[in-house]
Amino acid sequence: MRIFVNERPADVPEGATLLAVCATRKPDADLSICNGFPASPETVLKEGDRVVLIRRGEIPTSEELDVLLAARHSPGVHQRLKGSVVGIAGCGGLGSNVAVSLARVGVGELLLADFDVVEPSNLNRQQYFVDQIGMPKVDALMANLARINPAVKVVASCVRIVPENMKDLFGRADVLVEAFDRADQKGMLIDFAMRKFPEKPLVIGLGLAGWGRNDLLTTRSSGNIHLCGDGLTEAAQNRGLMAPRVALVANMQANLVMEILLGPDSEIGCSGQ
């Protein structure tokens, strides 16, 4: 019968076990996955099964990584995320952190736009590295995302986002993440989105300066607009934008994007009793 081993077709005897396939194809493997789920060596294989054999410590190919991710998230969740497109308007503190989390969970395509370059002052909260100073943020972020999850498709546009190009940049997105720094830019994006794509969910970061006060960070929704943050705290003297609180709000945004794409997780909130 024909099965697939590490995404390559392989002919194996009827009734072969995972152990037998492993012994002939990759004897040093210590992790075996069948049809997206970790499986025991005694598993009897069927025609068309997709088997992935991994040796710990070995760098997997992009395809193998994708299968490992599917095994971790379950194939249904993985497929849904993989089939999704998320727009990220701005690649600073919010946008770079949102992009990293969404790439880690395997969102299929990220549309990034930002005109800026990486500066030393960005490194206190943004997902860049010292050796990327001077690079356009979208290029640096694309490179970082490729190191995290090469299976994610990234479209990077090094442009200033204006009403004239927003439809081209983000029209395809299932969800749009607002990740600007300046309030007037946030207003411009929200205004455009409400007029031109009122049906598209829009996830905004609002109020995230300073440190502490986890309890003030919440999500408020009004129709298709979702606001993450404390809604109050603007950057000021002695109260800057800093990694923990910015990343918290960015990840509230990323978490909400997941909820929009997948629906709420019915298990969260259940105590299991």
Partner 1 sequence: MLKVNGEKIAFHESMTVTDVIKAMKFNFPLLIVKVNGVYVPRDEYGNRNVPDEAEIEIIHLISGG
Residues of this chain that bind partner 1 (CB under 8 A):
90, 92-95, 179-184, 186-187, 190-191, 194-195, 198, 205-209, 222-223, 225, 227, 229, 231-235, 241, 246
Q: Report the C-alpha gap between 242 and 76 in whole angstroms.
A: 36
Residue number with CB closer to partner 1 (71 or 99) = 99
Residue number with CB closer to partner 1 (2 or 213) = 213
Residue number with CB closer to partner 1 (36 or 136) = 136
Instruction: Quote the least distance from Cβ 262 to partner 1, whole Å.
Output: 25
Instruction: Quote the least distance from Cβ 248 to partner 1, whole Å.
Output: 12
Instruction: Quote the least distance from Cβ 22 to partner 1, whole Å.
Output: 49
Q: What is the DSSP string of 127-192?
A: S--GGGTTSBHHHHHHHHHHHH-TTSEEEEE-S---HHHHHHHHTT-SEEEE--SSHHHHHHHHHH
Measuring CA to CA, which residue among 46, 51, 62, 2 is closest to residue 29? 51
Residue number with CB closer to partner 1 (8 or 182) = 182
Residue number with CB closer to partner 1 (43 or 180) = 180
In contact, 84 and 108? CB cutoff 8 Å: yes
Containing 105, the helix (H) or strand (E) segment is helix 93-105
> Which residue's entry shows tokens 């969970």?
105
Instruction: Quote the least distance from Cβ 214 to partner 1, whole Å.
Output: 16
Q: Judging by DSSP bridges, how do beta strands 85-89 and 37-38 pair with one another?
A: unpaired
Instruction: Quote the least distance from Cβ 139 to partner 1, whole Å.
Output: 20
